[in-house]
Structures are given as structure tokens and as C-alpha cells.
Amino acid sequence: MKNEPTFLEILLTKIAFYFYGKSVYKSFADRLPLNGGERVLDFGCGMGTVAYYAAKKLTHGHLTCMDISGRWLNACRSTLRDYENISYILCESPDLEDECFDIVYCHFVLHDISKSELEKTVPALINSLRTGGVFAFREPLNEADKLKVIKDLTEKNRLILKESRVTDIPLMGNALESLYVKQ
């Protein structure tokens, strides 16, 4: 299947998670405005590197992990095996209920999606947010064209930038982290 990672990619991600989990993935999860009871979507969850830290904060909330890869979802299930408040969705493009999430986040995912698919995906993710909900992402800064598309789509779909910063991610380089709020 074209969307499946190789076993080497999974192994390298596990190694990066082990050595850089706190500095890379936990730092992003810590910036999410989680109080414990939110309904959260991890879009493009991979092996659950950010979800691992987000799930710890969702003491009475729910986390949905979504990915296009069955291998990544199986790896995610393994990473999050100690949590019961998680559901897993395998899908090519998000077909989500309107206004069902408080937070939707993407970590190094959107830049891998074609512009034409982003034009469908980002609005679907935004529509799944409740009013006042947060759309958060971290994407490579060297993907300026994709970042412009994402920014344009967020503003076109009634999101207001709450905060944004550029950060240096070990092994990944400079990245843009942004949090938008749905009006």
C-alpha cells in the first residue's frame, strides 16, 4: 500500500521518540490548551508520539487518533496501550462530524498533503471544531508554499491566529507552530 511506512521508518520514529520525545513531542503537546475534559483529534497520528503526551492530560476527555496508514495506527495502539479513552480511525481523507472536537492538532503532517487535498482536508478539520475550538499545527518552516496555503485556508474558514512561533526541532530543523481559534 502506498501510504504504509517501511519498518525502518517505524523503527527510526521509535528511536527518535525514545531519545527526543520530551524535547520534540511533549513540548508540542504542552502547548495545546488541554484542561483534561476535551475531545481532541490527532490528525496524522503516526505512531502516537504527540498523542502519548496529550493522552496523559486528558484525564476525563477523549482522544481520536486518525491516520491513512494501518501500520502507523497499529504502532499508535501499541504506544497508547495504557489508555482507554482513545479511538482510532483509518481513513484517506477526514469525514468528520461537524463541531465534535475542542482541539484538532497536526504534527509534521500537513506539508505531506498535496495542495488540492489540503483544500479539502483543512476545511474538514476546521468544520469538526466547535466554536472556540483550537486548530494547532507544527510544520517545517522550509515548506513556505504549503504554510501559505494552510494559513490562507485557516483564515478563509473563520479561524483567528491566537499564537505562533518558530522553533528549532532536533533532527527536524526549524518549524512553525501555530494555534488558531474558531470564531
Domains of the chain: 7-182 (3.40.50.150)
Q: What is the pLDDT of residue 14?
A: 85
- Average pLDDT, stretch 136-148? 96
Phi-psi region of 97 (alpha: psi -120 to 50; beta: other; left: phi over 0): beta
Residue 5, pLDDT > 90, answer no
Find the length of the chain.
Answer: 183
**Per-residue pLDDT reduced to its tens digit, 7-39:** 888 888 888 888 878 889 999 999 999 999 999
Reported as a pLDDT band with limits 50, 70 and 90, residue 2 is low
Residues 44-58 have a mean pLDDT of: 96
Encode 52-81: b = buried (16+ Cβ within 10 Å), e = exposed.
Answer: bbbbebbeebbbbbbbbbebbbebbeebbe
Across the range 123-134, mean pLDDT stands at: 96
Q: Which residues contact 148 (CB under 8 A, 6 or more apart)?
A: none
